[in-house]
Amino acid sequence: MSTGSSTSESSGGDRRTVFLLAHTGRPAAVRSAELVVLGLLRSGIGVRVLEAEAADLPLPAAVERVPEGCADALDGCELLVVLGGDGTLLRGSEFSRASGVPMLGVNLGRVGFLAEAERDDLDKVVDRVVTRAYEVEERMTLDVTVYQNGDVLHRDWALNEAAVQKVSPERMLEVVIAVNGRPVTGFGCDGVICATPTGSTAYAFSAGGPVVWPEVEALLMVPIGAHALFAKPLVTTPESVLAVEVEPHTPDGVLWCDGRRTVSLPAGARVEVRRGAVPVRLARLHHASFTDRLVAKFALPVSGWRGAPH
């Protein structure tokens, strides 16, 4: 992870514009979006939304609307504000990565590790956007390639994780895992997760993987329900190439990237995962340590700590 300057980057013109993405299926998101939009407009900042979401949001006529598939939907925007849970934030990361526009997440769900603010912070969010009082940091992504008999079947990317999983609940997936072209071990399992430090608190965490601080540059490989003596989580350098090969005699598998994009894996397919060429940029409002964020998000018991106050 690398950290940007202490102020945001404007769109380069006199007119400042913020793109708003919301989970319109949640009443809380609709109310929050209305508050954010009105606060920004009052401060002279333009707001842009997707046409498909505009119909579900109580928006003034001044709000700009663009179609979902518009390649330049975020052109000229200085910030992408996302209101919703983890799924909406991951959707926002797709827009952010494609455009290079920093994403500021407001958590309306449960955990929301990608979010920088909670629903009670909306006034603060608007104020920080208006005054450009936020920092921008880059988070590592994954580039994912699926091969079959040496041919490329599919290319994808992920911010959290690329997960190779079984399809049939009654049969295990037989795989061999490798690092930098060298096989490590093989086993039957429910799947294997390749994750970034950002994704270490997501699916990889649920599968028993380690929590990795975002400042640490590393790649993780975490087996899911493996039937093997040696099937521990692995942490490698960010320059490593992780591979998961689906054995030829095993049932077909499936690849999920961030739980949003999926592709079938025929028997014999190999999934290679490496550090992504394009990071996702996140806008940060707080200087709180990741330790404090971890404690807050998981409501960890720390009342017995008697260390020196800071």
Compute how many other C-beta atoms are within 10 angstroms of the C-beta atom of residue 56. 14
- Quote the pTM value: 0.90
> Hunting for tokens 């200087």 — which residue is that?
287
Identify the segments of the chain with pLDDT beneath 50: 2-12
Active-site annotation, residues: 86
140's tokens: 């590592």
Residue 88 vs residues 37, 65, 92, 114, 183: alpha-carbon distances, Å = 18, 19, 6, 10, 36
219 CB-near residues (< 8 Å, 6+ apart): 142, 194, 195, 196, 235, 236, 237, 238, 240, 242, 273, 274, 275
Sign of the torsion angle spanned by Cα atoms 279, 271, 160, 17 = positive
Q: What is the pLDDT of residues 20-60, one digit of tens each?
A: 999 888 888 889 999 999 999 999 999 999 998 888 888 89
pLDDT in tens, 242-284: 999 999 998 899 999 999 999 999 999 999 999 999 999 999 9
7 CB-near residues (< 8 Å, 6+ apart): 132, 133, 134, 135
Q: DSSP code of 22?
A: E
